[in-house]
């Protein structure tokens, strides 16, 4: 994992979704991420990976966000998907990744993503997860 200094709000063309922590986070986030992964032309196995990462973020992020909502910005490129999760409280990015570990499997987000980094932003930080497919 690296520390990045990326813009937390993403570039033009970014889709942002903000969901109040609770039962809607998982269903909404997995559908939005799945839809955008398909549009980024990720193949089916990587699309599944993206949805699994979205599910993990939805279940673990509420414990680490700064406000009452889980905010995710999704940026799509050619067979690339970048998720910016936050604002998270200080240390929240690392804690979220650790929380996503599954006994016997290890850290699922780090295993599925091509790149995982944390971008500090004042008193908060963002977790950046990039999934790509290179043929």
Binding site residues, another protein, CB under 8 A: 9-10, 12-24, 27-28, 30-32, 34-36, 39, 68-69, 73
Contact present, 73 and 101 (Cβ < 8 Å)? no
- Tell me how far, at minimum, the Cβ of 78 lies from another protein, in Å: 15
Beta-strand runs (E) in 4-135: 15-20, 69-77, 80-88, 101-102, 106-107, 115-121, 124-132
Query: Which is nearer to another protein, 10 or 86 (by Cβ)?
Result: 10
- Tell me how far, at minimum, the Cβ of 110 lies from another protein, in Å: 27
- Tell me how far, at minimum, the Cβ of 34 lies from another protein, in Å: 8
């Amino acid at each position: 994992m690296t520390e990045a200094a990326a813009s937390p709000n993403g570039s033009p063309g970014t889709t942002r979704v903000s969901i109040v922590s609770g039962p809607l986070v998982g269903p909404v986030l997995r559908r939005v991420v799945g839809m955008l992964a398909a549009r980024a032309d990720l193949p089916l196995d990587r699309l599944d990976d993206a949805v699994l990462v979205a599910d993990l973020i939805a279940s673990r992020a509420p414990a680490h966000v700064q406000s009452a909502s889980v905010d995710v910005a999704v940026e799509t490129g050619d067979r690339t998907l970048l998720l910016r999760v936050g604002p998270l409280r200080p240390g929240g990015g690392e804690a979220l990744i650790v929380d996503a570990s599954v006994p016997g499997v290890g850290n699922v987000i780090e295993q599925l993503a091509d790149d995982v980094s944390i971008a500090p932003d004042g008193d908060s930080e963002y977790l950046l997860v990039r999934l790509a497919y290179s043929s």
